[in-house]
Homo-oligomer: A and B are copies of this chain.
Amino acid sequence: MRIICLDLEGVLVPEIWISLAKRTNINDLLLTTRDIEDYSELMDHRLKVFKKEGLKISDIHDAVNNLQPFKGAKDFIDDLSKDFQVIILSDTFYEIASPLFYKLGNPNVFCHHLDISNSGDIIGYKLRIDDQKTKAVKAFHKLGFKVYAAGDSYNDLGMLKAADKGILYCAPEALKNQYSNFENANDYETLKALLVD
């Protein structure tokens, strides 16, 4: 049996932080894991922007409630789930992304938690563990599964390397060029063919 590990943002749903940046017109929030390799550095940057701009968790909820998964994303997951175990490995946070999980049919998601004050300020974040995507793939291997994985960003590279097959999905050209050993796909049909192979 094969476990298929999928990244969330950029693969199944739009980038949440970019959507937030656009809704709030705060360009400082446009940076993602595609731009900054170090996730802690990126999150520290986001928290500083939040504080400076006075943004609260309700502002994120407004943005996320208006987001839809990519066309075909739910069917893609449902289809794969007939024959494989699909688990989403994401560096997003349960507190902000749960409306999108619901729209995907509540698949299993391993991600992180935010610290939110009683007044709705985002005061910090708790990574469940460091490098959770890579460690999850290794844990599934130890449990006797084959693991195929797909992602689009720097924070997916450990997962893709640890997997029996790693696939870059709709990744930036620079990343595809730098990691040309990974197969790549730009639509669900091609991605599915690589994942079920």
Contact = CB atoms under 8 A, between A and B. Distances in A.
A129 B108 contact: no
Interface string A124-152: 00001100100110011011110000000
A158 B82 CA distance: 28
Contact of A145 (B86, B106, B128): B128
A129 B110 CA distance: 23
- Interface range on chain A (Cβ under 8 Å from partner): 20 to 34
Main DSSP-derived SS at the A contact region: mixed
A100 interface: no
A49 B197 CA distance: 36
A78 B106 contact: yes
A65 B136 CA distance: 34
A135 to B, nearest CB: 6
Nearest to A102: B82
A44 B108 CA distance: 34
Given A1-B113, A86-B108, A132-B143, 14 more contacts: A1-B111, A78-B106, A81-B106, A85-B108, A85-B110, A110-B143, A128-B144, A129-B143, A132-B144, A135-B143, A136-B143, A139-B139, A139-B142, A139-B143
Interface of A: 1, 78, 81-82, 85-87, 94, 102, 106, 108-111, 113, 128-129, 132, 135-136, 139-140, 142-145
28 contacts: A1-B94, A1-B110, A1-B111, A1-B113, A1-B128, A78-B106, A81-B106, A82-B102, A82-B106, A85-B108, A85-B110, A86-B108, A87-B108, A108-B108, A110-B143, A110-B145, A128-B144, A128-B145, A129-B143, A129-B144, A132-B143, A132-B144, A135-B142, A136-B143, A139-B139, A139-B140, A139-B142, A139-B143
